[in-house]
Structures are given as C-alpha cells and as structure tokens.
Amino acid sequence: DYELCEEWGHLYPVPREDLINLHREHLLHLLEMGDMEKALQLLQRIEDPGVCLAISEQCLDQHPNLAASHFLADYLTAHFYASLTTARRNEIQALYIGSKVLLTLPELSRVNYVHLSSRPLLMLEQLLMNMKVDWVALAVQTLHQLLAGQEIGFTVEDIDNLLSKYAEKALNFPFTLKEKRS
C-alpha cells in the first residue's frame, strides 16, 4: 500500500506534509520489520533533501526500536551533519553511541538500559552501580573507539573520571580496621 501511494504521489500533486507523513509511516514500518536495506532505498528515492531530513528526524523522535534508532542516527549523521544544529548533532551522536553500547550488552538485558540509549555516560554509570563489570569493560572499549575525534557532550576523560570515582567508592570502607593485639 505504501508503494502504491508513493506511485500515486509521482502521478498527481500531493501536499508536502502528506508526502512527509506517507514516507515517515512507510519508513517506520520498514524499520519495525527490520528491513534496513529497503529503508535505505526509500530514503535514497526521496529527491528533496529537506523532506528526507524531516522524515528521518521525525522517525527518530518517535523512538523506534534499538536497531531502527541506531540506523536513523547513523543515517542522519552521515547525510545531514552540516544541516543539523550543534545541539541536535550532539543529541543524535549520543543516541548513535548509546545504541551501539546497548548492542554490546546481552540481548535479554538491553531492555533494562534502553531508556538510557541517548545518555551513554549515564548508562555506563548505571552499569557500574549494578556491578556489571564485564559489561562495563565492553562498554568502555566501545566508547573509546567511538569517541575518537568526536564531540558529543562528553569525552574519554569524563569516562575515566567516572570509572575513577566508582573505583574510589569501591575501596572506601565505612569502618576502620582494628588490629588485634596479643
């Protein structure tokens, strides 16, 4: 049905907003089905870059599943980086990095952290508080790779400071050890 509507739009004039709505719903449908290839083809068929940007951003703002969010954040960064405001750019890059970190976690545990996908530093802190040390190691490794040369509102030093803070807390004993004397 979406493709029929798209063909109809090529034959008859369709208002811009209706065209955006059609493509947005079609894109969300494809992403929910997990068909990233067809989703990419749909975005490439859209001739007007402004319409393509609007559709991609609107889809991302509807918070689709993890893979779809990752795909949209990657697409927006790759194709519309210069068109985005600095704040929006940082937001989209943080979502991209957060979704990438989430994808390193075991599949059944992702649901517990998906609400933090746009805040990777907070996700890392939550993993530390939950004592998921192995997951933290993977997350830190992924973050170090992704942060190389990027500005998204936090740096590798912020990650190191967070790790140092929790390492210090792990070694902080609330009582003093008394030595037994014979």
Closest Cα partner for 24 from 131, 122, 175, 32? Answer: 32
pLDDT in the model for residue 3: 78
**Domain range annotation of the chain:** 1-84, 85-171
Closest CA to 135 of 168, 158, 102: 102
121 CB neighbour count, 10 Å cutoff:
20
Residue whose tokens read 């990777």: 120
The H or E element spanning position 56 is helix 49-61
Q: How confident is the model at residue 181 (pLDDT cuts 50, 70, 90)?
A: low
Report pLDDT digits (tens) over 69-126: 889 999 998 899 888 888 888 888 888 888 888 988 888 888 888 888 888 888 988 9
Q: What's the predicted TM-score (pTM) here?
A: 0.75
Query: Quick count: other Cβ atoms within 10 Å of Cβ 107?
Result: 9
- Contact assessment for residue 20 and residue 51, using Cβ atoms and an 8 Å cutoff: yes
Type and span of the H or E element at 145: helix 133-147
